[in-house]
Amino acid sequence: MGIQIAPSILSADFANLERDIAAVANADWLHVDVMDGHFVPNLTLGLPVLERLAQVSPVPIDAHLMIEDPDHWAPRYAEAGAASVTFHFEAARDAKAIARDIKRLGARASVALKPGTPVEAVLDDLREFDMVLVMTVEPGFGGQSFMPDMMSKVRTLRDHAHAEQHDLWIQTDGGISRDTIETVARSGGDVFVAGSAVYGAPDPAAEVTALRDLARAACHG
**Active site (catalytic) residues:** 33, 173
Q: How far apart are CA 125 and CA 32, in angstroms?
A: 25
Determine the angle formed by the axes of helices 70-79 and 47-56, rounding to 10 degrees: 30
Q: How far apart are CA 90 and CA 74, in angstroms?
A: 14
Q: Where are the extended beta strands (E) located within the chain? A: 4-7, 30-35, 61-66, 84-88, 108-113, 131-135, 169-173, 191-194
Cα-based torsion angle of the residue sequence 197, 203, 207, 213 in order, rounded to the nearest 10 degrees: -170
Q: How far apart are CA 163 and CA 38, in angstroms?
A: 37
Q: How far apart are CA 48 and CA 75, in angstroms?
A: 14
Residue 168 one-letter amino acid? L
145: left (phi over 0), alpha (psi -120 to 50) or beta: beta
